[in-house]
């Protein structure tokens, strides 16, 4: 359900931007035809009057509205049709409500122009966003065991290297595949030839880059911007071990004989047999966060706990839980909203009462820009979703609904309170 919801979010946003291709339009039409409520939710949302009323309401009573929305989304029942303006099931509300303040151009035109400019005078859009920045894309550098570096976004598709019995292939969709020529891919994959030691490779994405990798055992890894994964060209022995930095989402191929182990910044270790999970370990974030979607993982600190500390050194997560290791080497577990955590993998920025500094760190990595706060940092929290394929100006226009002022100077975003 979460994958469907995230895809519908993205398609509705792209429809508003008139950028749907033929296959995407068919997918959205088929979803709308599955239920009258699905179609009614989309059509009512796209009506301009509904947009105007919804955006105005969210601006005036933002925190109160989001609290009411969260309460309603936790209820399994259908929202009464005749007694509310928004005639959606809880599932439809999950899709549409976050988009409401994430429209970009449309929300700015309807709300900023008609409301804020009546109160304060702001510089023209053309002046403030004349140095617009395009979104990131599939960009990565592969460093082979011999030190040879390959810029993946500049090479053609097909088999471009081989290490031992493993072919390295760039697929048509831009993904990277490691394929063992002896045993092929499979959940019980073990390198047959012991005479060749697996070579250690590193895949690195820059700011403004992302990439998807399939390891020799069939495990899939998605790298967010400014991230890295170090891994062997093939797995042998009694474990599968990799190292990461930044943010990586894993779908691990099951192999009970060879547990999959992720080392994180030399501070934490995640051990699994086969499961789906996300690790956020950027240097500029306060905590290392491991979030479990499916299966089970064990998260442990690689550092020795202090004698006086009473925190847990190791935890086993259940789906929907997140383990957070802070700077004091303290490990905590909590329930989280999965859709928000993995939205980046599905091409969406999604915020849920997210503070401005956290939002700007995400934007800085994806658009490869610097961020400068001039004066006091505005105390604002944001909720909503917008496509990661949007230009930077579209995202900033969305954020300006809160009353924060942005300006793009070269590759720097200037922020100040109105």
For residue 354, which of 308, 389, 399, 287 has the smallest C-alpha distance? 399
- Distance (Å, rounded) from C-alpha 220 to C-alpha 211? 11
**Average pLDDT, rounded, for the chain:** 78
**Of 318, 340, 362, which one is at a domain's C-terminal end?**
340
The total number of structural domains in the chain stands at 2
pLDDT score of 94 more than 50: no
Token duo for residue 122 = 């702001």
pTM over 0.75: no
The mean per-residue pLDDT over the stretch 356-374 comes to 94
pLDDT bracket for residue 6 (50, 70, 90): low
Residues 140-164 pLDDT 10s: 999 999 999 999 988 999 999 988 8
Task: Out of 91-105, 234-248, 275-289, 350-364, pick the least confident.
Answer: 91-105
Residues 253 and 372 in one domain: no
Domain that holds residue 70: 1-133+346-418
Residues 354 and 317 in one domain: no
Q: How many alpha carbons lie under 13 Å from residue 272 in its C-beta half-sphere?
A: 26
- Distance (Å, rounded) from C-alpha 231 to C-alpha 244? 9
CA diameter of the chain = 75
Residues 129 and 141 in one domain: no
Element (H, E) at 348: strand 348-355
Task: Out of 116-125, 192-201, 234-243, 306-315, pick the least confident.
Answer: 116-125
If you average pLDDT over each of 5-14, 340-349, 374-383, which comes out highest? 340-349
**CATH code at position 415:** 3.55.50.30
- Distance (Å, rounded) from C-alpha 164 to C-alpha 179? 11
pLDDT score of 29 more than 70: yes
Residues 118 and 172 in one domain: no
Residues 276-321 pLDDT 10s: 999 999 999 989 999 999 999 999 987 655 444 455 678 999 999 9
Q: Residue 217 has what pLDDT?
A: 93
């Amino acid at each position: 359900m979460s994958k469907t919801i995230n895809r519908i979010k993205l398609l509705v946003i792209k429809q508003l931007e008139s950028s749907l291709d033929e296959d995407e339009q068919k997918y959205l039409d088929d979803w709308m035809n599955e239920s009258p409520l699905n179609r009614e939710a989309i059509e009512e949302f796209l009506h301009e009057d509904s947009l105007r009323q919804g955006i105005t309401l969210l601006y005036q009573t933002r925190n109160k509205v989001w609290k009411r929305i969260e309460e309603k989304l936790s209820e399994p029942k259908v929202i009464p049709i005749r007694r509310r303006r928004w005639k959606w099931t809880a599932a439809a509300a999950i899709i549409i409500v976050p988009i409401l303040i994430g429209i970009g151009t449309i929300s700015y035109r309807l709300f900023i122009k008609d409301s804020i400019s009546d109160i304060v005078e702001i510089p023209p859009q053309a002046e403030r966003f004349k140095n617009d920045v395009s979104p990131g894309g599939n960009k990565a550098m592969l460093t082979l065991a011999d030190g040879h570096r390959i810029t993946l976004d500049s090479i053609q598709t097909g088999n471009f290297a081989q290490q031992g019995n493993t072919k390295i292939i760039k697929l048509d969709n831009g993904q990277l595949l490691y394929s063992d020529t002896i045993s092929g891919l499979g959940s019980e994959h073990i390198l047959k030839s012991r005479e060749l030691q697996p070579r250690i490779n590193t895949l690195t994405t820059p700011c403004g880059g992302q990439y998807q990798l399939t390891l020799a055992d069939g495990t899939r890894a998605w790298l967010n911007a400014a991230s890295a994964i170090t891994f062997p060209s093939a797995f042998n022995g009694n474990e599968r071990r990799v190292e990461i930095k930044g943010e990586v989402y894993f779908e691990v191929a099951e192999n009970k004989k060879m547990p999959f182990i992720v080392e994180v910044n030399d501070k934490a270790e995640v051990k699994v047999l086969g499961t789906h999970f996300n690790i956020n370990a950027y240097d500029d974030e306060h905590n290392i966060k491991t979030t479990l979607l499916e299966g089970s993982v064990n998260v442990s600190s690689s550092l020795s706990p202090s004698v006086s500390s009473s925190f847990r050194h190791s935890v086993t997560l259940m789906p929907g839980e997140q383990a957070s290791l802070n700077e004091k080497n303290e490990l905590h577990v909590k329930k989280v909203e999965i859709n928000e955590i993995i939205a980046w993998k599905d091409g969406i920025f999604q915020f849920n009462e997210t503070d401005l500094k956290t939002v700007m760190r995400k934007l800085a990595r994806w658009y490869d820009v610097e961020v400068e706060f001039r004066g006091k940092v505005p105390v604002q929290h944001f909720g909503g979703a917008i496509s990661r394929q949007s230009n930077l100006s579209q995202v900033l226009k969305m954020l300006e609904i809160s009353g924060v002022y942005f300006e793009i100077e070269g590759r720097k975003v200037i922020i100040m309170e109105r």
